[in-house]
Amino acid sequence: MNSFGKLAHGISHFLNRLRFGKGDSYEAGAFWEHRHAKYQSDFRAVADSLADAHDRYPKQKAQFLKFLEETGIKLDGGAHCIEFGCGNGFWTKVLLDAGIQSYCGLDISSTAVRNCKTSIPGGCFERVDLGEEDYTPRQPADLVFSIDVTQHIVEETKLVRFLRNMVTATKPGGHIVLTSYSGFGDGYADDETMELIGKFVKVRKLRWVYAWDLPTLKKHLNGCDLIASAKFWDKTVFAFLRQSGLEQARTTVSG
């Protein structure tokens, strides 16, 4: 990135902090609504750039489907799925194409939900702030999943509600699958400041990327057993079984 690009990028981060910052946290609802409205829910709303649509996401799709298969989580035969943080609907299409019977996508952004309803008629979509509101599904799901979302929850009180909502949404004997930065302990995964002009002039950034380690996830997924994990791009994907009185062997999926 050239000097002008760094300057523009730094100013953008500074303005985002002024607009969406809330102490050490941020106004998640306003932030994500702004991104989806600005980019109309294309990949720039949920990723680093449009290039991710042709590189990272297709590779993650293959990783995700392989992980589910090796973990024994079936998507056909009448499976009902709920996604926490459906974003632009990429994973909606992956699951529907895989043969699930029904799908419900939840997101904090009204624009994201509206755009998904328009572009993906085969799914059901609802606006819910899952870190602030209690959620009870009309029908508990066989699979509740969340891809690349937990790192954008930067307060543990919100993470607790988010994960408890996942448990509530999962039927006994069903599965929860989610991704997180893991192995680093709990803490911000992005720098607090960035260079604006040279290395001596810096600005404070809006911090919206947080690593939640496995012990924290397990602590708040009450009544769930970890059954599998695998590398997932720069994160780890985990599968949990919601207890139903039946024991299931714990496995680790490699690759």
**pLDDT tens by residue, 120-166:** 989 999 999 999 999 999 999 999 999 999 999 999 999 999 999 99
The per-residue pLDDT for 7 is 63
Distance CA 197, CA 95 (A): 45
If you average pLDDT over every residue of the chain, what do you get? 90
Mean pLDDT over residues 37-42, rounded? Answer: 92
Residue (of 148, 102, 152) closest to 129 by Cα position: 152
The per-residue pLDDT for 245 is 57
CB 103, CB 83: distance < 8 Å: yes
Q: DSSP 3-state assignment of 129?
A: coil
Res. 20 pLDDT band, cuts 50 70 90: very high
> Is 213 a residue whose pLDDT tops 80?
yes
pTM of the model: 0.91
Mean pLDDT over residues 29-45, rounded? Answer: 94
Mean pLDDT over residues 63-80, rounded? Answer: 94
The per-residue pLDDT for 195 is 61
Mean pLDDT over residues 186-199, rounded? Answer: 74
> Is 248 a residue whose pLDDT tops 50?
no
Distance CA 184, CA 206 (A): 21
Largest CA distance in the chain: 60
Domains of the chain, earliest start first: 3-242 (3.40.50.150)
> Is 69 a residue whose pLDDT tops 80?
yes
The per-residue pLDDT for 247 is 44
Structure tokens at 141: 């799901």
Mean pLDDT over residues 98-123, rounded? Answer: 96
